[in-house]
Structure 1
Amino acid sequence: MIPCWTRKPSPRPLNISAFMAISAALGSLALTLGGGCGSSQPTEREVATFPGVRLTVAVVEDETRLPTLRLLTGEWAAARQAEAIVAAQPIQLLTQPPDADVLLFPGDRMGELVDLDALIPLPERVVRTPRDPRDDDFELDDDSPASRGRGGDRTPKTTPRADDPLDFEAIAPGLRDRATRYGRDRMALPYSTSVLVLVYRIDRFADPTLRAAAQEAGVSLDPPRTWEEFDRLAAFLHHRDWSGDGQPDAALAVALGPDPNERIAVDLFLARAGAVGRHRDSLSFLLDYRTLQPRLTSPPFVDTLEAIVSSRALGPEGIERFDANAARAAFREGRVALLIDRAEMAPSWSDPTNGVGSGSSTAPAPTGAASIQIGVAPLPGSQRVFNPSSQEWERSSDLNCPTYLPRGGGWLIGIASRTSEGPQRQAAIDLARFLAGRQAGQQISRDRQAPALPTRPQGIVAPLATGLDLARWGRSVTETLTASQIALGPRFPAAPDFLADLEAARLAALEGQPAAQALAEAAQSWTQRIEQYGRDRLTWHYSKDLIEIPVADTPPPRASAR
């Protein structure tokens, strides 16, 4: 296993010719936006057109995704001579297959969509670069095992062309090979993602007095490699004048209170629990995949919840009520030296106008904010890992540091099963490829209303943020997305409800309930949900969620009373 702090992404130099070719492939769009009617530049590859085709596009759950989706869909329609309408309101409840051709949805709703037969599996030809413009036929008429997604070699065989807007092989492996699949079926294409990172004040950590005190205490001021090192660093900084203003300071800010909009707290819980509880020899984590027995009462989860509750003592007053924006404000205002947050939220670490929604603090950035230096590092890992088979802790010289991708890996684009075969379905797949493409990813990453990361780590551009060390930000995001171990947030049906039970346990522990008891109550709620849904059917879905476990093509029947 490659240690967290030594893993290196494969180098991929910027391909200028590829960039120019992509621009050429979107020539008709450039003419539309430029307003000119004169001579057009030649293209290396003609784009397919779909005159007379009308598509409906819908978003599941999140209305903040709509503006950028409308912009991108409009660009595609103009270039393809088609009509594409984005539904005005997001779909909140998935009780029947959505009335749309193309769906943008969070990965944690994958299981619900599959359960409704609302998505079509995509054959591998969809992610391959066509050899010739006349090969742009993405009709699902290939009955090979690879197309059905139930065996065979599923690796694309063609080398991506410079003018391919999708450039599928450049997508982060965990998104490309895991988040898009449900079992062996590829059900979607990746649209955007998110990762948690550790944020810290480089400028203050370079202070000679602070470094001397840390050396005397046996604490490193370098980014911690393990969660134990993180806890020691935070304890050292707390109630110490690390800011140099003559007053004792707090160490850490993180969303510990209710945070329904961003849900960072439960993601942090699962990320930290994964470092100590995702054993390399175990296929499942939250549940036993054979019995669906919840594992929430096992030592990794109990220890993690106790550690998170203890971190309340390392933050500023009221941290137990902090949502994500309040935690960012505490860091931005110089009240804490450490912050755990989503990487795409970097502008809000120094600019109070760049939060999501209404911030919990309106205080301006600290005096001298222009001189702030902000460092970023991947989340720590652990050398101590629990083995669920032996029920024992194991210690290794290598770090266990699986990347946790929230919301089932991020946002995905799928083709609805209601889409008519022929030109309608071909156009829907072409739109999905466009939305999952590199150029669309650049626009998605610039969306401040719905911040997100692009799916391709190579050439990722850091957001504009005062004092941000761009190299550290880029390196941390790239290392996190290209980690050898990728753990997706749960995606089986009702996964958000299961996580809501876990969030309730976390909040109960913060209120004083013993961690083991709070998690036992969450486990009991999970068991009730499993029985209500149907144990056999949810076992099928959970195995599909884990990808590697073979299951029957069709699920068992639902429970009689759900």
Structure 2
Amino acid sequence: MSPVTARLVTIVILALSLTRAEALEVLTRDGGPIAGPAIAHGAEFARETGVAVHVTPRPFDALYGAVMMGFVTGSPPADVLILPADWLPDVAPYLMPVPDDLVQSPLVQGIHPAYRDRQMRWRGQWLAVTLDGDLHMGAYRRDLFEDRAAQAAYRAQTGRALEPPRTWQDYARIAAFFRARGVAGTLEASAENGQRLWSLFSHAAAYTAHPDHPGHFFFDPDTMAPEIDNPAWVRALHDYLDALATAPGPALPSHGVRTEFAAGAAAMALDWSDIGTVATDPASSKIRDRVGFFALPGTDQVWNPVAKRWDRLAAPRPVPFLAFGGWIAVVPRGAADPKAAWDYIAFLADPARATRDVMTGASGFNPYRLSQLDDTAGWSTLMGAQAAADYLSVLRESLSAPQTAPDLRLPGYPAYMAALDARLGRVLSGEITPRGGSGGGGDRLGPDHRPAWPRQPAPPLPRGDGAGGGAMSLWRGIQGRLLLIVALSTLAMALAGFAAIRALDQIGEAAETVTGRDVPAMAAALRLARIGDRLQSRGASLMAASTAAALSEAQRAIDADLAAFAEQMGALRAAAPTDSPDQIATLSAELAARLRALSTDLDRLRGLATLRAAERAKMLAQQDFLRQLLGPSILAVEAITAGETLPDPEIYRTAVRSQAPLLAAERLTDRAMSEPALGGRRPRGAGAAAGPGRLSAHAGAA
């Protein structure tokens, strides 16, 4: 073991011991929704229990990476994680089960079964507590639908009454009718990173839900062959594009849909149930007393995935869709205080507190408890009697229907969604257009031979030859995966040195005497940290590469940084003195003594409690760097990259055990990237033993 590594380990351990946070750490997305209630209720929890709560918000696009990085490097990212429910399959191996007394409590049993039984369990184990219930619904302008002139014109044009749509054909006719009268027909999300995929999914749910062949929404449940290119999805795609055409203007994200609808910009809108509280808010809505709601439309024409034909039902059949599924709270294994973590989650989910949250449009939480769906008086006070009756009726109908479709739920979910969203973005931008041909089934209900959803893999990535080509589409085999592991390992070691330097720098001039002899080594460590920062972005570029050229360029950049890393490792070894392992203990005692002396000097010279608090706050701010990097992981990386034989067998065994997180990272990468995301169909039975082919379409549903 090199002396530099020993010193870094000592610095990290001592700094952690001096700055150990007493606060409960919570990690979630940034912004007012979700994080807002977590912070506000955290303050209440601290006042009532004396346990401080520190909420770390991360941008949504970075949240999954931050969570998984903590897990695969062997350090829990926080004591409580508030995450999308659809991520549960990926994080499940790292979570503590929900305590039995909490599962059996009225708090959990009062959650609607659609969310409790589907979203809180994975492979039969209770791992999460639901905080939010998500589904898609429709909203409409009652004043426009009840206008006598509009009703007469619509009946004359279509022979039908102007009323909330019951089928997707009704929805398209009504949207086109109002567009022709100078009003935007309907609003749906279509902006990049604006949650547009779930609008497309909502259109597809009814067409793919054959009563005799359930479970074929996204994949064939027997072979895991993707269904995304069958005629049901083709029709859904065109329905979605036709709906967007009735509302010219810039592409809207989901929150833009609800705010524009509340401003009176369209006759209808499709969105999450947040639209109910936003559109009826007297402070921001121009149509608060003129709003009605409807369940997702249905269809009497469904695709038969076995017979490969369209079948007609006796009557239109709506299929509600649990879009996104909502947000859940979980506790990682290794949380510092599991009891406090579960107490905080129970505090967040307290029925009275949760009801206040779901009635606030800014919270990001939507109704999910049975009692919330029965609170007619509360919703009437908020929305008005008629709007509340519509709203609650839609929620009850959607959640109680046996055919309600859950969202996609399987390991590697974010990769599948990112690939499909990129493909949809190319269609919306006009870069590609759906191609002709709907496959072997044909359209037997009429001469509708509109273009089909693109069948080539998405995104287009280089593929290998033979049966293993799909599994090597991103990494080009095992070497690509190992390259990512090396990048993560070097990043971890570099961040350790960087965190140590920053911590010592904040202690003050007195700490300089502790490491004066190590200045050359610390300079090299700082350069390592800079390389590590670059490698972090390089890794993201590698994961996001969508063409062979982009993938090759990302790999070349990583190779260059790895060469620079090796050079700086040599500088570290050259700068470090050749101390024996026994000097680790001496150095630890010396550094601890210096830190105690410094603390005394600060108390005597500065004498201000506020200054000491500020110093402590600075140290806490570094905790995200320090807590993820414990000694054994650094020793393991050093032993592996340097190829040294450690003299102490116990140290060597510890190093070997610490390789487990790296192996977990490899398995995760292999699993998430082993098959083209929602790409072209495979022949039935082909590749069934590889990647997601081992999964059930809804393996974790119950």
Same fold (TM over 0.5): yes
Q: Distance in 2 between matches of 1:92 and 1:539?
A: 19
CA contact (8 A) 1:502 1:522 kept: no
Are residues 449 and 522 of structure 1, via their aligned partners in 2, closer, same or farther at CA, if it must alter by over 3 Å?
A: farther
Residue 178 (structure 1) aligns with: 118
CA contact (8 A) 2:27 2:78 kept: no
Q: Distance in 1 between matches of 2:188 and 2:111?
A: 30
Quick one: which amino acid aligns to residue 515 of structure 1? P
Q: Distance in 2 between matches of 1:61 and 1:493?
A: 20
Query: Which of 151, 169, 180 in structure 2 is aligned with 1:239?
Result: 180
CA contact (8 A) 1:111 1:541 kept: no
2:433 maps to 1:514: yes
Are residues 63 and 331 of structure 1, via their aligned partners in 2, closer, same or farther at CA, if it must alter by over 3 Å?
A: closer
2:245 maps to 1:313: yes
Query: Which of 436, 450, 455 in structure 1 is aligned with 2:349?
Result: 436
Q: Distance in 1 between matches of 2:353 and 2:400?
A: 21
Structure ranking higher in helix proportion: 2
CA contact (8 A) 1:237 1:250 kept: yes
Quick one: which amino acid aligns to residue 107 of structure 1? A
Unpaired runs of 5+ residues, structure 2, are: 1-20, 436-451, 462-469, 475-669, 676-688
2:222 maps to 1:253: no
Quick one: which amino acid aligns to residue 106 of structure 1? P
Quick one: which amino acid aligns to residue 412 of structure 1? I
CA contact (8 A) 1:192 1:444 kept: no
Residue 383 (structure 1) aligns with: 300
Quick one: which amino acid aligns to residue 402 of structure 2? S
Residue 190 (structure 1) aligns with: 130
**What's the CA shift for 1:398?**
4.7
Q: Distance in 2 between matches of 1:492 and 1:70?
A: 30
Quick one: which amino acid aligns to residue 42 of structure 2? T
Are residues 72 and 331 of structure 1, via their aligned partners in 2, closer, same or farther at CA, if it must alter by over 3 Å?
A: closer
2:14 maps to 1:96: no
Query: Which of 113, 132, 135 in structure 1 is aligned with 2:91?
Result: 113
Cα shift readout 1:263-296 (whole Å, capped 9, x = no counterpart)? 1x21111111011113343334212344432221
2:353 maps to 1:450: no
Residue 76 (structure 1) aligns with: 45
**What's the CA shift for 1:113?**
0.9
1:211-226 pair list within 5 angstroms: 211-216=151-156, 217-226=158-167
**What's the CA shift for 1:124?**
4.5
**What's the CA shift for 1:328?**
4.0
Quick one: which amino acid aligns to residue 546 of structure 1? A
Residue 202 (structure 2) aligns with: 271
Q: Distance in 2 between matches of 1:541 and 1:450?
A: 38
Q: Distance in 2 between matches of 1:532 and 1:483?
A: 32
Q: Distance in 2 between matches of 1:411 and 1:325?
A: 17
Residue 25 (structure 2) aligns with: 57
Residue 416 (structure 2) aligns with: 498
Residue 139 (structure 1) aligns with: none
Unpaired runs of 5+ residues, structure 1, are: 1-52, 130-159, 161-165, 241-247, 355-364, 550-562
SS of residue paired to 1:270: helix
Are residues 482 and 72 of structure 1, via their aligned partners in 2, closer, same or farther at CA, if it must alter by over 3 Å?
A: farther
Q: Distance in 2 between matches of 1:532 and 1:231?
A: 37
Q: Distance in 2 between matches of 1:213 and 1:479?
A: 31
Residue 699 (structure 2) aligns with: 546
CA contact (8 A) 1:286 1:295 kept: yes
- Compare 499-508 and 171-180 and name the one that shifted more: 499-508
CA contact (8 A) 2:178 2:184 kept: yes
2:267 maps to 1:337: yes
Q: Distance in 2 between matches of 1:444 and 1:537?
A: 43
**What's the CA shift for 1:375?**
0.8
- Compare 469-478 and 55-64 and name the one that shifted more: 55-64
2:673 maps to 1:533: yes
Percent sequence identity over aligned pairs: 24
- Compare 378-387 and 447-456 and name the one that shifted more: 447-456
Cα shift readout 1:358-416 (whole Å, capped 9, x = no counterpart)? xxxxxxx76xx57x511111111122211222222222225443322222x11011121
Residue 202 (structure 1) aligns with: 142
Aligned residues: 429
CA contact (8 A) 2:423 2:458 kept: no
Give 1 or 2 for the bigger CA radius of gyration: 2
Residue 138 (structure 1) aligns with: none
CA contact (8 A) 2:301 2:311 kept: yes
SS of residue paired to 1:376: strand
Are residues 312 and 445 of structure 1, via their aligned partners in 2, closer, same or farther at CA, if it must alter by over 3 Å?
A: closer
Are residues 332 and 434 of structure 1, via their aligned partners in 2, closer, same or farther at CA, if it must alter by over 3 Å?
A: closer
Q: Distance in 1 between matches of 2:290 and 2:428?
A: 32
Quick one: which amino acid aligns to residue 111 of structure 1? P
Residue 145 (structure 1) aligns with: none
- Compare 68-77 and 221-230 and name the one that shifted more: 68-77
Cα shift readout 1:78-136 (whole Å, capped 9, x = no counterpart)? 44x3524223333451223233222211112212212xx2212336443113xxxxxxx
CA contact (8 A) 1:373 1:467 kept: no
SS of residue paired to 1:498: helix
SS of residue paired to 1:499: helix
SS of residue paired to 2:70: coil
Q: Distance in 1 between matches of 2:690 and 2:129?
A: 25
- Compare 531-540 and 95-104 and name the one that shifted more: 531-540
TM-score by length of 1: 0.68
Are residues 113 and 311 of structure 1, via their aligned partners in 2, closer, same or farther at CA, if it must alter by over 3 Å?
A: same
Residue 226 (structure 2) aligns with: 294
Quick one: which amino acid aligns to residue 293 of structure 1? A
Are residues 538 and 450 of structure 1, via their aligned partners in 2, closer, same or farther at CA, if it must alter by over 3 Å?
A: farther
Q: Distance in 1 between matches of 2:387 and 2:690?
A: 48
2:370 maps to 1:392: no
Are residues 302 and 447 of structure 1, via their aligned partners in 2, closer, same or farther at CA, if it must alter by over 3 Å?
A: same
Cα shift readout 1:538-558 (whole Å, capped 9, x = no counterpart)? 438843853369xxxxxxxxx
Q: Distance in 2 between matches of 1:312 and 1:485?
A: 27
- Compare 460-469 and 339-348 and name the one that shifted more: 460-469
CA contact (8 A) 1:373 1:468 kept: no
Quick one: which amino acid aligns to residue 273 of structure 2? A
**What's the CA shift for 1:503?**
2.0
- Compare 176-185 and 387-396 and name the one that shifted more: 387-396
CA contact (8 A) 2:82 2:330 kept: yes
Cα shift readout 1:57-80 (whole Å, capped 9, x = no counterpart)? 32233443223112323433444x
SS of residue paired to 2:329: strand
Are residues 235 and 399 of structure 1, via their aligned partners in 2, closer, same or farther at CA, if it must alter by over 3 Å?
A: same
Q: Distance in 2 between matches of 1:271 and 1:235?
A: 19
SS of residue paired to 1:432: helix
CA contact (8 A) 1:305 1:515 kept: no
**What's the CA shift for 1:178?**
0.6
CA contact (8 A) 2:412 2:671 kept: no
SS of residue paired to 1:200: strand
Cα shift readout 1:499-554 (whole Å, capped 9, x = no counterpart)? 222222223223343335654245566954787634657438843853369xxxxx
Are residues 522 and 376 of structure 1, via their aligned partners in 2, closer, same or farther at CA, if it must alter by over 3 Å?
A: farther
Quick one: which amino acid aligns to residue 108 of structure 1? D
Q: Distance in 2 between matches of 1:548 and 1:466?
A: 36
